[in-house]
Amino acid sequence: MTAPRHTSQPRPDLAPDPSLGRAEMEALQHDIADAAVFDDEFRFDPEPLTNPLAASAATTTTGDAAANDETNNSLDDNHTPNPTVVGIDQSFLTNEAGDQDRALSAVVAMRSGEVVERVHAVTTLETPYIPGLLSFREGGAILAALESLAVEPDLFLFDGSGRIHFRQAGIATHIGVVRDVPSIGVAKSLLCGSLQGDTANLSAGTRVAIEADDSVDAPEGTLLGYAVQTRQYDSPNRYINPLYVSPGHRVGPETAADLALGLAGTYKLPEPVRLADSYATEAKGEGLD
């Protein structure tokens, strides 16, 4: 799992451009999917993120000083023991007429279970809502927020889709490829693909494969991701729906599901995404006009 890290945009040519026409956007998504890596290719140790006991052991071993050292937090050149996980969520601001006219991207960076940085950015909405093309509507705000992030991310978690997308290029894939950072999409609803089992009232920890069908530009049967049941009620009368988890870039589907489950904590959503969602609401209330 060796790959260079970047702090800017290694693929600016693939950045979301809202001035493109729909056909051009879809063509660009094909290029993004071609550039994406849907297998594990990262330099951090996933064990502390998927196993709380391992996380505690890592913190105890490295100590508080090492956990907060942003320039020397690796065991060797290819192994980061305390990865920085960045949760990303979106919200929108309205004008006096009540129309959405700006996107707000909220970013929360966590390390060893603690928040180390929060940033947000607001950009003008230049494209309408079109299913499957959300990264062109929201990507500008996301990239702007990430540019102001001081810590170096090891993993992005998006409230949105990755490979579970008509052209295998959801927002987690798009931004992950542009930044060349390992990324995962965590969606609350299934955009496309075919579930390979029943998802009603699953027990916590269960996952159900999602494969490509004729709605996806991929060979039929391609594993796109998983429906992951992170939490469940202890009651026969109500149940929690699963999350739809897919690799965005440089993470495989099995690892993506493991990480989403391990980072969920006591809530349904992985903690970095849950906190980004809360921060988006907070940022909207900070007097933004």
208 located within any domain: yes
Amino acid occupying residue 277 = D
Q: List the binding residues for Mg(2+).
A: 89, 159
The reported pLDDT for the residue numbered 9 is: 85
- Percent of the chain residues past pLDDT 90, beyond the cut: 76
The reported pLDDT for the residue numbered 191 is: 96
Q: Which of 26-40, 57-71, 156-170 comes out lowest in average pLDDT? A: 57-71
What is the pTM for the complete model shown? Answer: 0.88
Report how many domains make up the chain. Answer: 1
Q: Which of 125-129, 137-141, 283-287 comes out lowest in average pLDDT? A: 283-287
Tokens 């052991």 locate to: 57
Q: What whole-number distance in Å separates Cα of residue 234 and Cα of residue 232?
A: 7
263 located within any domain: yes
Assign 56 a pLDDT band (cuts: 50, 70, 90). very low
Q: List the binding residues.
A: 89, 159
The reported pLDDT for the residue numbered 245 is: 98
134 located within any domain: yes
86 located within any domain: yes
CATH number at residue 274: 3.30.2170.10
Tell me what the mean pLDDT of segment 136-157 comes to: 96
List CB contacts of 74: < 8 A, sequence separation 6 or more: 43, 80, 81
The boundaries of the domain holding residue 62 are 37-284
32 located within any domain: no
Angle at the Cα of 130 from the Cα atoms of 99 and 85, rounded to 5 degrees: 90
Q: Which of 73-82, 205-214, 242-251, 278-287 comes out lowest in average pLDDT? A: 73-82
Assign 285 a pLDDT band (cuts: 50, 70, 90). confident
Q: Which of 57-66, 156-165, 206-215 comes out lowest in average pLDDT? A: 57-66
Q: What whole-number distance in Å separates Cα of residue 143 and Cα of residue 16?
A: 9
Phi and psi at residue 227, in whole multiples of 5°?
-85, 120
For residue range 184-195, what is the model confidence (pLDDT) as tens digits?
999 999 999 999
Token representation of residue 223: 């594993």
8 located within any domain: no
Assign 123 a pLDDT band (cuts: 50, 70, 90). very high
